[in-house]
Amino acid sequence: MVIGLGCDHRGFRLKEALRKHLAEREASVHDFGTNSEQPVDYPIIALRLAVAVSRCEAARGILVCGTGLGMAIAANKVPGIQAATVHDVHTARLARERNDAHIIAIGADVVKNEENAVRIVAAFLDARFQGGPSVAKIARIAAIEHRFRGGRSTGGHPWTRP
């Protein structure tokens, strides 16, 4: 499974730590940058990663910025993408199990320590979409997108659709 990883300057240190963790999991990582603490506008990175996920070039995405908010908002503008801001293991797991999120966005300033971020990422990657009553709700989200953007109305990412 290819995992996309991206950050802005505020998420850079945490992104580097997560890259090492993903290597230990023997995950195949595609790093979308940024690669320093030089300021970069987070939508640029979020767009690159979200487009790759929407094209199935990466199965999951992990974005890191200061709050996890801007990255998720930007990624969700790409048709077919479901990105969620998560700051703990519980929401990371449910983002996958219930919301069929392909991408999570973590706030480096919120999560603070590396160990916590590693646990959050592991919870997301180890979880599976549970289907059931969530399927109809996700189909409704896709229908909203279809109505306003002319995007797909297929009910989620093709790799994870039940």
Distance, in Å, from the CA atom of 52 to the CA atom of 72, rounded to the nearest integer, reads 15
Sheet holding 2-7, edge to edge: 28-31, 2-7, 60-65, 103-107, 83-85
**Minimum distance between the CB of residue 33 and ligand RB5, rounded to whole angstroms?**
14
Q: Please identify, using beta-carbon distances, which residue of 64 and 94 lies nearer to ligand RB5.
A: 64
8 lies in the binding site for ligand RB5 (CB under 6 A): yes
Specify the 3-state DSSP secondary structure of 47.
helix
**Minimum distance between the CB of residue 158 and ligand RB5, rounded to whole angstroms?**
28
65 lies in the binding site for ligand RB5 (CB under 6 A): yes
Let me know if 7 is a catalytic residue: no
Contact 22, 16 (CB under 8 A): no
Distance, in Å, from the CA atom of 126 to the CA atom of 131, rounded to the nearest integer, reads 16
**Contacts (Cβ under 8 Å, ≥6 apart) of 21:** 118, 121, 122
Tell me which stretch binds ligand RB5 (CB under 6 A): 48-56, 63-71, 135-143, 154-162.
Answer: 63-71
Q: Please identify, using beta-carbon distances, which residue of 26 and 38 lies nearer to ligand RB5.
A: 38
Q: Which residue in the list 65, 78, 92, 117 is annotated as catalytic?
A: 65
The catalytic residue positions are: 65
What residue ranges bind ligand RB5 (CB under 6 A)? Answer: 8, 10, 42, 65-67, 69-70
